[in-house]
């Protein structure tokens, strides 16, 4: 059998060793493919030839391809993000932006662990392009998200036979410890809501502190999502409508409810209407008399505003709107929450921490975690416990009191 390694002499007299192997048929065109390899020494050529023949016999040979990192990631993302919400798709794109910038033009088969390590170093030093001063470093969470998305994409490339191994998984992500969430005590909530009573959007602030997400509050509609139950029926005892004293006191009264069926969220600066994050996100929540009354008062206020504005009023149908009926901007709603909290004299928390506050207070009040989780629209109780239920230093006194009772007189 003829030696497949051929000695060749270039025009300048340099000697090289070359071989050609049949690497099978192109999976797309069906045409037979051959690949030529050239090395400086016969020993190098022989080692590579034997390796390729072994891989071909085992069926795990990686066909050479010129596809770049960006080309592959664009195709991978189309499938990976197909069923995701627009906001989640955007988070994938944002996470992969540094990869496109630093590695995007490289052939995917040429990317090494060292290339990815250099990208991480650049991200930590000057990789920021948005969400702060451009050219500054990104935090550990952003770097971890990028590495996670890249590793997932490269893992698929391995399964597709484009890569022999996933070098992204070899890169150690930076350590990241989420900052602890700040929550309000029950007294701080009461102080805030007492100040919010005079605000025209009192009902919205109350619902935000009942554990609803910002988008869920802003997505509520009067016709489709708000049910006043028996809150508008004449009271049998006092013969008057909207009887707060008797609401919910007997079985003849049905509670007011809100139905969470959609959310108004920001995606790349544009407000979009999206369904809840999961099937559990669709839920109907009963309201106490104070929340029902706040919603009723808001509806009365909006009716008066509509009559006063006349044709200038936009009858959008949403619950949380401005004086002309236009749905408020999500960022304005968050900012206004902060301004109102400052006027109330309570410690500063961001709007989403109002959700953490509500769920934590429910759990501390003895509400079973299964109910807290269902109220929040979560997929399981473990997530609710680990992410949304927080204990403060003051809460440790509860443990002290319990141990004191257990060990009393011992």
Domain containing residue 369: CATH number? 1.10.443.10
- 148-160 b/e (C-beta count within 10 Å ≥ 16 → b): ebbbebbbbbeee
Give the whole-angstrom CA distance, residue 26 versus residue 145.
Answer: 35
pLDDT digits (tens, 9 = 90+) for 35-82: 788 889 989 988 888 887 877 776 666 777 889 999 999 999 988 887
pLDDT for res 179: 75
Residue 111 domain-assigned (yes or no): yes
Which pLDDT band holds residue 1 (cuts at 50, 70, 90)? Answer: low
Give the bridge partners for 65, in sequence order. Answer: none
pLDDT for res 21: 80
Residues 260, 323, single domain; the answer is yes
Residues 264, 383, single domain; the answer is yes
The per-residue DSSP string of 26-91 comes to -TTT--EEEEEEEESSHHHHHHHHHHHHHHHHHT--------BHHHHHHHHHHHHTTTS-HHHHHH
Q: Which helix (DSSP H) or strand (DSSP E) does residue 7 occupy?
A: strand 6-9
In this predicted structure, the answer to whether residue 201 has a pLDDT above a threshold of 60 is: yes
> What mean pLDDT, rounded, does the chain reach?
86
Residues 164, 230, single domain; the answer is no
Last residue of a domain, one of 142, 170, 198: 170
Lowest pLDDT segment from 83-97, 208-222, 226-240: 226-240
Sign of CA dihedral 221, 227, 233, 238: negative
Residue 63 domain-assigned (yes or no): no
Enclosing domain of residue 131: 69-170
Q: What angle do CA 333, 337, 339 make, to 5 degrees?
A: 115
* Section 284-296 average pLDDT: 88
Residues 34, 75, single domain; the answer is no
Residue 341 domain-assigned (yes or no): yes
Backbone angles phi, psi at 2, to 5 degrees: -65, 145
Cβ distance 253 to 245 under 8 Å?
A: no
Give the whole-angstrom CA distance, residue 318 versus residue 367.
Answer: 31
Residues 140, 225, single domain; the answer is no
| Residue 319 to residues 93, 217, 230, Cα–Cα distance (Å) | 33, 8, 20
Residues 201, 281, single domain; the answer is yes
Residue 75 domain-assigned (yes or no): yes
Give the whole-angstrom CA distance, residue 315 versus residue 326.
Answer: 8
Q: Which helix (DSSP H) or strand (DSSP E) does residue 305 occupy?
A: helix 289-309
Joined tokens for residue 28: 């797309």
Residues 391, 279, single domain; the answer is yes
Residue 211 domain-assigned (yes or no): yes
3-state per-residue secondary structure call for 139-154: CHHHHHHHHHHHHHHH
In this predicted structure, the answer to whether residue 92 has a pLDDT above a threshold of 50 is: yes
Residues 74, 48, single domain; the answer is no
Which pLDDT band holds residue 251 (cuts at 50, 70, 90)? Answer: very low
Q: Which helix (DSSP H) or strand (DSSP E) does residue 18 occupy?
A: strand 15-25
pLDDT for res 233: 62
In this predicted structure, the answer to whether residue 219 has a pLDDT above a threshold of 60 is: yes
Residue bearing tokens 């997530």: 383
Residues 150, 239, single domain; the answer is no
Nearest to 299 by CA among 219, 370, 226, 377: 226
In this predicted structure, the answer to whether residue 182 has a pLDDT above a threshold of 50 is: yes
> How many Å from the N-terminal Cα to the C-terminal Cα in the chain?
93
Residue 108 domain-assigned (yes or no): yes
* Domains identified in the chain, total number: 3
Residues 235, 351, single domain; the answer is yes
Residue 181 domain-assigned (yes or no): no
Q: Can you give the CATH number for the domain in which 150 is found?
A: 1.10.150.130
Residues 210, 298, single domain; the answer is yes
pLDDT digits (tens, 9 = 90+) for 307-333: 999 999 999 999 999 999 999 999 999
Residue 405 domain-assigned (yes or no): no
Residues 153, 192, single domain; the answer is no
Phi/psi zone of residue 42: left (φ > 0), alpha (ψ -120 to 50 degrees), beta?
A: alpha
Give the bridge partners for 72, in sequence order. Answer: none
């Amino acid at each position: 059998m003829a030696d497949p390694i051929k000695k060749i002499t270039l025009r300048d007299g340099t000697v090289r060793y070359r071989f050609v192997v049949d690497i099978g048929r192109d999976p797309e065109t069906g045409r037979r493919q051959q690949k030529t390899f050239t090395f400086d020494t016969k020993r190098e050529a022989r080692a590579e030839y034997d390796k390729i023949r072994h891989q071909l016999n085992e069926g795990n040979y990686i066909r050479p391809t010129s596809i770049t990192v960006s080309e592959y990631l664009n195709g991978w993302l189309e499938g990976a993000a197909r069923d995701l919400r627009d906001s989640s798709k955007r988070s994938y794109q944002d996470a992969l932006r540094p990869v496109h910038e630093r590695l995007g033009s490289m052939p995917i088969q040429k990317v090494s662990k060292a290339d990815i390590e250099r990208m991480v170093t650049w991200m930590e030093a000057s990789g920021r392009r948005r969400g702060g001063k451009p050219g500054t470093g990104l935090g550990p969470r952003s770097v971890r998200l990028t590495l996670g998305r890249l590793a997932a994409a490269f893992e698929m490339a391995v399964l597709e036979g484009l890569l022999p191994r996933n070098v992204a998984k070899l890169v150690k992500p930076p350590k990241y410890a989420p900052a602890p969430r700040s929550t309000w005590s029950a007294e701080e909530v009461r102080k805030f809501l007492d100040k919010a009573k005079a605000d025209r959007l009192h009902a919205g602030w109350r619902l935000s502190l009942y554990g609803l997400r910002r988008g869920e509050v802003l997505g509520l509609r009067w016709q489709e999502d708000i049910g006043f139950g028996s809150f508008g029926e004449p009271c049998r005892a006092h013969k008057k409508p909207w009887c707060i004293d008797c609401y919910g006191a007997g079985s003849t009264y049905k509670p007011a409810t809100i139905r969470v069926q959609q959310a108004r969220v920001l995606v790349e600066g544009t407000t979009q209407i999206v369904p809840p994050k999961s099937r559990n996100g669709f839920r109907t929540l009963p309201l106490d008399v104070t929340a029902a009354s706040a919603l009723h008062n808001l509806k009365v206020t909006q009716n008066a505003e509509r009559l006063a504005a006349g044709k200038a009023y936009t009858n959008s149908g949403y619950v949380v709107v401005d004086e002309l009926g236009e749905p408020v901007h999500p960022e304005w709603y968050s900012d206004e929450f902060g301004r109102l909290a400052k006027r109330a004299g309570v410690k500063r928390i961001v709007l989403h921490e109002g959700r953490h506050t509500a769920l934590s207070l429910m759990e501390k009040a003895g509400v079973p975690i299964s109910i807290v989780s269902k109220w929040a629209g979560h997929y399981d109780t473990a997530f609710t416990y680990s992410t949304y239920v927080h204990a403060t230093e003051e809460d440790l006194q509860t443990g002290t009191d319990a141990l004191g009772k257990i060990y009393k007189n011992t």
